[in-house]
Amino acid sequence: MAFNAKNFIKDKIEEIRAQVGQKCAICATSGGVDSMVCAFLAHRALGRNLVAVFIDDGLMRENEPKTVTTILRKHGIRTVLIYSADDFFKALRGKENPEDMRKAFRHTFYKTLGKAVRKYRAKYMIQGTIAADVVETKGRIKSQHNVLAQIGISPSRYGLNIIEPLVTLYKPDVRKVGKALGLPKSIYGRMPFPGPGLATRVVGEVTRDKVRMLRKATSIVERELRNVKAFQSFAVLLNDRATGTRSGKRAFGNIIVIRSVQSKNAMTATPTIIPYKILERIQRKITRQIPEVTKVLYDISPKPPSTIEYI
């Protein structure tokens, strides 16, 4: 049977109201499709009893904290912006192993959120876990930070009861729900962006300096590929170095990978066939605007055997 977004919304509003009652609920949103749809859905159900929390972890794309909180507030959603980039960089210091990085991110994220939960005396956390997160986590493909039960985190440790209204849906249906809820297309139609943010796109230790470079490269890639239809397009900063030339001298610089994939639900993916001229333009812009970068590569790996992200 075809998915009916309106009925889904109606049912979930009733369910959320029945569970939360007159208590306060928190919804942490990263600005990604899933968490934004979740926040809008929960707001429909709870009104002022929902607090949307945006944690500025320092790992977001350019202007995200401002853009996202402005959209939430414009739609009447009670929104709190928490700046805690220092805590995240501290937690990620010295970590190079992908799972250690995810764990450090997750721990800092829930510690920060836990403080907000106590401050607002929230009893519930409404979370945008979707079906693919559960499948991949159960399959031990990776531990998603937003699938608490499956990764052995006890929500009560953080003082939270978890509600996951989107857990039966895959991304295309989540977008339909977003559209039916009246989210702007720039949000419900946007590319998936992982919870741990740009940290999933820095290979090796995550530092402020690397994130600054990657953020700039990401914005170039997103802008130049805005008219190329893709499931996700982004930049990655490798841990390796490579020689280039800067001011006529040899320079041992950084390597940026351009990643763009076609996919339905992120379970499998194929690389986007990008016109060569566009790739060349991206290369020029990145090496001009980020002098520390000496090489730009295009990743042609499908999933499987590869994954979409790099950690």
Query: Residue 220 — left, alpha, or beta (φ > 0 → left; ψ -120 to 50 → alpha)?
Result: alpha
With contacts defined by CB under 6 A, name the span among 10-18, 113-121, 139-147, 206-214 that binds ligand XMP: 139-147
Q: In this complex, which beta carbon is closest to ligand XMP, that of residue 46 or of residue 266?
A: 266
Instruction: State yes or no: residue 192 binds ligand XMP (CB under 6 A).
Output: yes
Instruction: State yes or no: residue 196 binds ligand XMP (CB under 6 A).
Output: yes
Instruction: State yes or no: residue 303 binds ligand XMP (CB under 6 A).
Output: yes
Binding mask 255-294 for ligand XMP (x = CB under 6 A): -----------x----------------------------
Size of the site for ligand XMP (CB under 6 A): 17
Considering only 65, 194, 244, 253, the residue that binds ligand XMP (CB under 6 A) is 194
DSSP structure string for 238-288: EEEEEEEEETTEEEEEEEEEEEEEE-SSSSSBEE----HHHHHHHHHHHHH
Q: Which residues contact 55 (CB under 8 A, 6 or more apart)?
A: 28, 30, 82, 84, 109, 112, 113
- Going from the C-alpha of 189 to that of each of 163, 175, 193, 200, 231, the distances in angstroms are 24, 6, 12, 21, 10
Q: Measuring CA to CA, which residue among 145, 31, 154 is closest to residue 98? A: 145
Euclidean distance between CA atoms 189 and 192, whole angstroms: 9
Instruction: State yes or no: residue 308 binds ligand XMP (CB under 6 A).
Output: yes
Instruction: State yes or no: residue 218 binds ligand XMP (CB under 6 A).
Output: no
Considering only 79, 84, 127, 232, the residue that binds ligand XMP (CB under 6 A) is 232
Smallest distance, ligand XMP to C-beta of residue 102, A: 6
| Binding residues for ligand XMP (CB under 6 A) | 102, 141-142, 144-146, 192, 194-196, 200, 232, 266, 303, 307-309
